[in-house]
Structure 1
Amino acid sequence: MHDVCKAFYRAEKQDQSLMNYFMTFKRTYEELNVLLPFSPDVKVQQRQREQMAIMSFLAGLSSDFDSAKSQVLSGSDVSSLQDVFSRVLRTETTPSVSLNSALVGHNNHAPWRNSTPSGSKGGNSQRPDNRTPESGSIMCNYCKKPGHTKFECKKLQFKNQQKHYANVANTSDAPDRSVTISADEFAKFSRYQESLQSSSPSVTAIADSGKSNACLLSTSSKWVIDSGATDHMTGNSSLFSTFQSYSPTSSVTLADGSPSSVLGSGTVTPTPLLTLSSVLHLPNLSFNLLSVSQLTRNLNCCISFFPDHCLFQDLMTKKIIGKGHESGGLYVLDPLSSTPIACPSVASAFEAHCRLGHPSLPLLKKLCPQYSKVSSLDCESCQFAKHHRVSLSPRVNKRASVPFELVHSDVWGPSPILSKPGFRYFVTFVDDYSRVTWLYLMKNRSELFPIFCAFCAKIQNQFNVHVRTLRSDNAKEYTSAQFQSYMISNGMLHETSCVDTAPQNGVAERKNRHLLETARALLFQMKVPKPFWADAVSTACFLINRMPSSVLNGEIPFKILFPVKSLFPVAHRVFGSVCFARDVRPHVTKLDPKSLKCVFLGYSRLQKGYRCYCPDLNKYLVSIDVTFVENTPYFSSSPTPTRHGDDDDLLVYSVTTAAPDTCSDESLVPSPTSVIAPAMPTPPPKPPIIVYSRRPPPVSCPAPASSSSDSELNDDLPIALRKEKLS
């Protein structure tokens, strides 16, 4: 044991390879575990700690104390570190005394070291150290008998032979190293070596006084339920079904205070009913630990501990989802053998799938745990009945690397309401690099090709670059022969989405949604009529280009392409508000009004001015000389007109004043002759109440007397009048 402890605490790599050094150290560590097996008994742990202290003390002694160490290690009654120190101290002077005795015995002329007793008659008499002054013979320090030394003592040699010791040769690279253990320890070590050769290293049992102590190694599949662990931990990488490595690696602090590196985390399924997520992988951990706090939090369960077992119970269904048993002071998780809920005698998983109404594979595994290892089900009926769209993966590169490397485009329309200038469609071109949007209004879809040609010419002239790739949907205006011929001749790539797969053109689709949401807000705020939707969309595009974008990490799209230009060439105003534009018509005299009352509808693309609409002239004006009343909308909400005609029996409404609270239901509309008593206080005015009533049916004239002259007109009378006439 001394040599094993010395090799363990003084391990050195020296000139060995890393693999040989690790295997040597691991072999020493396993031998130390055999000599000092783990025990839950506190007294045994204290005795083992005392032995470790003794071995560390002896390993630190120099070679001058080899005889002392041999005597201490050969004895069996060593109980404490203090006892070992006393023995070493007692034997420290014994080698020098024996050596001097031997020298004196062979050299009678050596001077006597001690002075002559006072009773002697003079002269330097000589005697060895092991000789007593009285007898003058050699004295044994062990048996206290004369005639021999301690190393020649037969009694000591006989006593040592009675001890059953076995010298186990060390299998390391040094052939002269040996481990001295007792016969019982050697028997345990032999059984341990046999178990390593005959069984897998998952769980190794070593018999100790009729008890079985399980040594759970890192490759074990058993899980220890630990209330002191903050996370699930394992050192066995083969248990993970999914795994995500950490870069850089983190660390956790173990129970002994030492840090251990964490290579990653993943999902582990120790039992069919327990699926553990975020399980940490610690390669140096020798146990698989189940965190009680993580179990109760993630699985919404409670854990009840009993003297010999523990139970996991779901808090919602009250179902037992896990069990554990007590072993050596630890609670170890039991692998549950789940009983099938449905189809216990069905031979195949596909047959059970058909019998249960084609459920999904996870549901089938819960109903029939015997099919938990089935990875997939090839059911053609499910493909026809449950086929759905595939989730699109996110874009790897969020943005293009240079401007106009990729341009997104989409056509919106037709609009259900014709705009004032007569537009029904609009097309957008979005630069993927800067996210600047160009919007063009169209009356027909056929106008897309000339607009796209003008857009490409503008980009080439203004930015001195060419549009490299256009991404759009499969609309006919994009796939026409004329459009494709233009793109091929200019070396542009055309990427189209699959049929009925709008998310593949998601940038343009989301841009259209953003434009329409902003346009609706502009229209609703100032009650602008719907025929002005084209002006609202154009203004929304102008403002969105000058707003920070989350895709650009807060940058403004307009500033990316035009870093020098000002965001707003004119001050921005409230859309749909009242404004007064200067009247510059030539026939306006000095006595006429100098301005026109207009509604503000946006900004001019090519002129530095405001775009206004004058309803009196039914014309659009662009002027810089405009005065705004921004808190006043030009258009006010008009009441819903009352319908008249043949369908007068429909519900109509009228606005009336509110009656006092003391009035009955019959007086909701007060009569002009009603008088309120002066003693009654005047109630405060209340908002008008909308009273719905049916219009009275028209009063029909009495039917004329029957005559032969109007017999032809009787067919035109209502059926009820004709019946009355006949009766």
Structure 2
Amino acid sequence: MVSTKFEIEKFDGKNDFSLWRVKMRALLVHQGLAEALAGGEARVPEGATEAQRKEITDKWKETGMSAGKSIEDHTDEFNKLILDLENIEIVLDEEDQAIIFLTSLPQHYDHFVDTLLYGRESLTMEEVLSALNSRELKKRSDLKDEGGEGLFVRGRADQRDQRGSKNRGATRSRSRYRRRCYVCQSEKHLKRDCPELKKRKNDFNGNKQSSNYTQSDDQSDGYDSCEVLMATDAISGEGWVLDSGCSFHMTFLKDSFCDLEMKDMGTVKLGDDRACKVLGVGDVMLKLNNGSEVKLQSVRYVPDLKRCLISMGTLEKEGMYVCFKDGKAKVIKGSMVWFTGSRKGNNIYMLDGGAIFDKALNVVKVNDTPAQLWHKRLGHISQHGMKELDKQGVFGNLSNCEIGFCETCILGKAHKVWFGRNTTKTKGLLDYIHADLWGPSRQITLGGARYFLSIMDDRSRRVWVYLLKCKSEAFVRFVEWKTLVEKQTERKVKKLRTDNGLEFCSADFNGFCKKEGIARHLTVPGTPQQNGLVERMNRTLLDRVRCMLQNSGLPRSFWGEAVTTAAYLINRSPSSALNKMTPIEVWSGKKGSYHHLRVFGSLAYAQVSQGKLEPRAQKCVFLGYPEGIKGYRLWRLENSKAIVSRDVTFNEDIVYKDLIGSDKAEDELSKSHSGVHIEFRMNEKISIPF
């Protein structure tokens, strides 16, 4: 056996413990004494001072790769710092190590870093080092294939030209093979000096210019020289200029707005000191060259402009970071590149993308008044109901509660002249109950329901709605409802009025009522007016449903969600039969809450946690209020699922039909949602509302 002598310096507290530990571990493994390492995790010896610990943490804060250092040396130094941190009992997980290592790389690794950070759901140091080694090997291979020796000879020939070398002809003959134009293949000039390429560019630019306008060589493509540059209308174009001199975003393209409020907003001065009127403000959707879409807000509509301008100052004021480098402009929002621009031949930066005209609204939209917004939040409540809630101070400092003309209410609530109704004479809750079954509907809900059962208390006028797939479920739902409300009120159901439908006159239903001592009141066949209270409530529910579906643009398959939401809102709306009190107030003795109400079908952003670098919210559509839960029921557009969330941000100015267009709304949603159960049953969790 051949013995080998290993010399390892003794650790005295002054030398590098991490390096000493690696050498000692290798020696013990080589000598077959690896079991000696099982005694516990290595730590910094007790003699380590606070100064040594501070030195390690200071080195960690300066992990950036310095100029001239190779990637191998930087990797070794980073791994050494990781070991030092472990020695002072600071342990980082694999993903944090990978992210810190990537951020320490120099700027010419930006593309490599972006690919790893935003192209994967998770990262480890092993994956980063493997990808980095592959990149370095490919880079060295490419340099070798390109013929580095030939490039070196060309550079040496330039030096010899300056010294007047005698071997000038031979050197040129060797380097001339590389120096040729890639356009016309001539060896007399390079691509940048090619006359053929210049001719093609001139012909292309001449075809793009307007027939009645010619541009001189000394013009700057839409910008004039002036002391304070705002904007200029020298050249017409639909491209968006990244301008650091304009005070806000501006465009002359009215069709590019997806949301425009027409109003007089004063004037803006151009570069020639000429004033142009600002006739409106709105939002513009931009589609970038990489396929993503961004929304540019607070864009001024200036018809006299000839250029669309993006204000760099406005973006910086909104917390964004603008970077210009190597002919590219990057607008960074947080850790994400929001959009980019490219420098053109006239040193003007243009957006890499343009406005989306097919998503623009055909009708200019004016924001709703506060009264109209509350009208929509309450499911298109009547004018009398709005006035009564305003008297109770529900709307706060609302100066005018007049709704005005609402086309949605006209389309959804048109009816014949009514006969009138009687006021309530019942004295106690649950003394008299009205029930009716509506259906079948031609349109099946996403959960497969065709009917809904409505149950109404005569004293409080509170209504409960249950979605049913078939009529036979009516008896089961009634039993569940009776048990629940009797527990809540500690009272008994005494009388029940229904029609003569088989769902209410079956043997099971009649036997249950006799057993529980419930008196039955049935209507005369063919006279639904005798059960007019709940029949009228069904009509009110459907009026609200039509209005909410019409206003939101959601397809008819969502009528189940709409009818449960309508019942929730009706219970919080004043009733003339109750002397302008609300059913929920009479039922529970407490006034209902209104601060959480939102417009049905409006755009909502639900907070999600799906990774450190992923978006923190997802686009959803608001569907209603789940019973017994202090949250909102939402339809997630990304994967067509119903969720309940409390952390929601709403944009009530935008509803579902504004997202995909009113003509395509039903087709787009119906194709992807068939057979999906989304509506909830109110009987599962019913409690006194918050």
TM-score (norm 2): 0.35
* Structure holding more strand per residue: 1
> Max radius of gyration: which structure?
1
* Structure holding more helix per residue: 2
Higher RCO (CA-CA < 8 Å; seq separation 6+): 2
